[in-house]
Structure 1
């Protein structure tokens, strides 16, 4: 399914980028959610955002709330969800005194109620993720989340145990199952680096791999897309700001899943969009499969202060 990465340019300017490969019955679009936006948790309660959000999402059928897959809020905090089947551990019921959420609403809580990665991490022990349906979906989706803020601080949250906790991601890349630790182990093994942990030897091996023009894995498996993107990110000399958009979107195109017009069922996985988030400028660049050029929307102070209703942008 999805591939994502964080990046910092030569001016220490942070970015986040991802592909969205998840099949749905409603289209993915850029979406703006205002301050004080009321969203249902799926647990017979409603929460309200404190901060405006701009990101990629969709409007599920027969449901009056937007489901976000990624985004940035007005404080420069980003969050994206990616698929983690066969690894998550959700709770069966709500817990008194906890922040009870369904997995689909976790991203709304992160971006709607926090200004930094540190603030989210401090709040995590209060969260109780409950395995309940949300938004008319027919299943409870297994997710893990990749977060980054305007300082460049980034973490991965994987709901594999209770209480929830966050971990650093030194590779700066995340795809789907397996868990991050196994991805890192696989990367070292691919690069012939000893051990399961990320070390400077991992980065050196990635640079040597690219300098030798050795081939990168090309299969659609999440493990191969992780290795491919990690070697690109770790092995490429640090980019200047004017190189970032084109380069990161190109890296994502290399691991995008092709669309097959002969497959019309809901289980057909292909890349619906690529996005790039400039955390300091608070710009969201969205490139749908059908588009030849990316579209950039900026989350401005005026939007955050004066726009009071959700906006679902058209594809073009």
Structure 2
């Protein structure tokens, strides 16, 4: 499964990131797609601009199409797709009228074409997400998406009743169940506190806490979607606001580290174990993509400013020295 978060720094600049939790990788690399890239679209979309935003993030390139797991653009907008296997209900065929987007191209379509969450929110009123695979070897992935900028974030889900856009006031997304259920479930934890409980009298016994952290007693510690959602929401909203790139990148990696999945703890039905394959961070302040892998905890930086934006194809990006 996966966890995504978003927050802003002391100057209002956004930081956006995710854990990708799964049993295997797909040869994913950091990919930059320049504004003039000629990327084949799944459907005719005359409304898409000829020149888009530069996009950088983690993914694979198939047939000239960047399949982004998560990415950010040169306007400071970011998007990530997270597993949503039970509830996702894409359209089986393109709809007449409106805008049709294949599920596999949705993150790139958002990041290429829009500058803000407001623009995305407005455009989605006419969008149909279609269950079309990029090729015969890669089946359609059942996902939902978190999209963020400096103003906030939304969650996009294709449900039985159609496409739903949720306002994400805790700036967190995990997996099943749907976002509405996850948001309501936080009410089960409203007594949690970062503070130390006070002394309590039980009859003649005076009880004192063992030490700091006991205000968090009752916070779930398993790796299910609801538990990771509750813990990530608490940590993300209680972490002190930071100033400066280094402090905010540290904040993001520490927050997502609180819900990272170690090997051997989350067995799938087929016997394979999920683990946090990588953690990523997109800084809208510096337009830099950061990444650390499960077996390489060194955080590597991929600044958009170091990329050649004049090309016409997606390119693999090497980390800054």
* TM-score using structure 2 length: 0.82
- Determine the C-alpha separation between the residues in 1 that align with 2:133 and 2:271: 18
Q: Which residue of 1 aligns with 2:59?
A: 57
Q: Which residue of 2 aligns with 1:129?
A: 129
Deviation at 1:16, TM superposition (A): 0.6
- Determine the C-alpha separation between the residues in 1 that align with 2:241 and 2:55: 29
Structure 2: where are the runs of 5+ without partners?
Answer: 197-211
- Determine the C-alpha separation between the residues in 2 that align with 1:99 and 1:301: 34
SS at match of 2:275: coil
1:235 equivalent to 2:234? Answer no
User: Which of 248, 254, 264 does residue 252 from structure 2 map onto?
Assistant: 248
Question: How many residues are treated as equivalent by the alignment?
Answer: 298
Deviation at 1:68, TM superposition (A): 0.4
- Determine the C-alpha separation between the residues in 1 that align with 2:300 and 2:136: 29
Q: 1:174 to 1:49 in 2, by over 3 A?
A: farther
Deviation at 1:88, TM superposition (A): 2.1
1:14 equivalent to 2:14? Answer yes
Whether the aligned pair in 2 keeps the contact of 1:51 and 1:74 (CA below 8 Å) is: yes
- Determine the C-alpha separation between the residues in 2 that align with 1:178 and 1:208: 30
- Determine the C-alpha separation between the residues in 2 that align with 1:189 and 1:164: 27
Q: CA RMSD, aligned part only?
A: 3.0
Whether the aligned pair in 2 keeps the contact of 1:288 and 1:315 (CA below 8 Å) is: no
Structure 1: where are the runs of 5+ without partners?
Answer: 193-204
- Determine the C-alpha separation between the residues in 2 that align with 1:293 and 1:79: 23
Render the CA deviation track for 1:156-197: whole Å, top value 9, x for unaligned: 1111256634221111111011111211222211334xxxxx
- Determine the C-alpha separation between the residues in 2 that align with 1:112 and 1:229: 28
Deviation at 1:80, TM superposition (A): 0.7
Q: Which residue of 1 aligns with 2:297?
A: 292
Render the CA deviation track for 1:212-235: whole Å, top value 9, x for unaligned: 453442211111111111111223
Deviation at 1:315, TM superposition (A): 7.7
Render the CA deviation track for 1:132-173: whole Å, top value 9, x for unaligned: 222444432221111112x33321111125663422111111
Q: Which residue of 1 aligns with 2:173?
A: 174
| Higher deviation after alignment, 271-280 or 232-241 | 232-241
Q: Which residue of 1 aligns with 2:209?
A: none
* TM-score using structure 1 length: 0.83
- Listed as ranges, the matches of 1:142-291 within 5 Å are 142-149=142-149, 151-160=150-159, 164-192=163-191, 205-208=192-195, 212-215=214-217, 216-241=219-244, 242-259=246-263, 268-291=273-296
SS at match of 1:159: strand
Deviation at 1:49, TM superposition (A): 6.2
- Determine the C-alpha separation between the residues in 2 that align with 1:82 and 1:120: 18
- Determine the C-alpha separation between the residues in 2 that align with 1:127 and 1:206: 41
